[in-house]
Amino acid sequence: MALIRYAPIAPNFNFMRGRKVFMAFSVAMVVASLTILAVRGLNLGVDFRGGILIEIETRDAANLGDLRARLGSLGLGEVTLQEFGDPKDVLINVQRQDGAEEEQIAAINLIKSELGDQVAEYRRTEFVGPKVGDELKQAGLLATVLAMLGITIYIWFRFEWQFAVAALIALFHDVISTIGLMALIQLEFNLSTLAAILTVAGYSINDTVVIFDRVRETLRKYKKLPILDLLTRAVNGTLIRTSLTSVTTLLALISLAVFGGEVIRGFSIALIWGVVIGTFSSWGLAVPILSYTNLRVGVTGATDDPAEKTKAAEKS
């Protein structure tokens, strides 16, 4: 907090001047995300669609063409291979086999037999049945709905309705754009990426609440200040804090994406995008929306006292 308080930089950017551009960009992003989602769909992982997932490390650089041909000749149905990180690291995805657990184990053993000594290490082997996959879909959807509902209730009671509406629009903007990114780059959608989306929602609303608290505080101090100037002052007053929070979070997430391995790479990429777009939407979408609402109605504690204004200006 001391670093923020005594930072030598006093931001004074006129964010409200470009509010229409920011809002148009946000609308375009949501429309594009929904379109991509409808056209391409999500790349559902084993968690949701069922199947067999095997992560291996080969002794030499993997020849994906050769591996794909050999595994495809086993009669196990659709087989996809993905190289990640090191050329020796390969992710094998096989469609769920007809039958119960015994048939899935038999398919895994057949794959291992075919690969033989070419594999140096089997890092993980997973299989999920269709019933479990359907249950996970339902549970994931329920978790998302309940999380969004809980955030909605909190925001609605925490702020005046103008703030609540703006915050919820920004929240849905961040979630939809994150899902759109996953559909665009066909990032595997599994339980970890679902957790990333819920984390994005929490991060986004937290960033928005910080700015809205400053907006409401500024409203109480400057009753006659033009609304655009008031919102600009509030955003600039929180800019250093939100920027530092976002940058330090991104440093950790980029490290996870680069060095964390394939298991959490999707989670990390989704969060990186979520932090960036969540930071933008807090001041580029949520605050501009406030400028189009009758924000002063119902706001209490506003004052015209020059002494209090001077004191508030010195603190800003």
My answer on whether 165 and 91 are in the same domain is no
**Domain check: are 9 and 99 in the same one?**
no
What angle is formed at CA 234 by the lines to CA 232 and CA 239, rounded to 5 degrees? Answer: 90
Amino acid at 200: V
- 103 Cβ neighbours under 8 A, 6+ residues apart: 97
Find the CATH number of the domain harbouring 109.
3.30.70.100
3-46 pLDDT per residue, tens = 445 555 666 777 778 888 989 999 999 999 999 999 988 887 77
Domain count, the chain: 2
Looking at the fold, whether 108 and 221 belong to one and the same domain comes out as no
Residue 84 belongs to domain spanning = 51-128
Distances (CA, A) of 235 to 29, 52, 58, 279: 23, 49, 52, 12
| Side-chain-side CA neighbours of residue 221 (13 Å) | 21
- Residue 316's pLDDT is what? 43
Predicted confidence at residue 207, as pLDDT, reads: 84
Structure tokens at 104: 């899935």
Query: Same domain for 22 and 100?
Result: no
Q: Examine the domain organization and report whether 38 and 55 are in the same domain.
A: no
pLDDT of residue 35: 95
Same domain, 12 and 30: yes
**Per-residue model confidence (pLDDT) at position 38:** 92
Tell me the per-residue pLDDT of 61-110, one tens digit each, with 9 for 90 and over. 878 888 888 887 888 777 777 777 677 888 887 877 776 777 778 888 88
Predicted pLDDT of residue 55: 84
Q: Is the pTM of the predicted complex or chain greater than 0.85? A: no
Look at residues 263, 85, 257, 252 and name the one whose alpha carbon lies nearest to residue 191.
Answer: 263
Do 240 and 7 touch, CB atoms closer than 8 A?
yes
Q: How far apart are CA 151 and CA 236, in angstroms?
A: 25
- Outline where 159-261 has alpha helix (H): 161-184, 191-221, 227-259
Low pLDDT (below 50) residues in the chain: 1-4, 297-316
Q: What is the pLDDT of residue 300?
A: 42
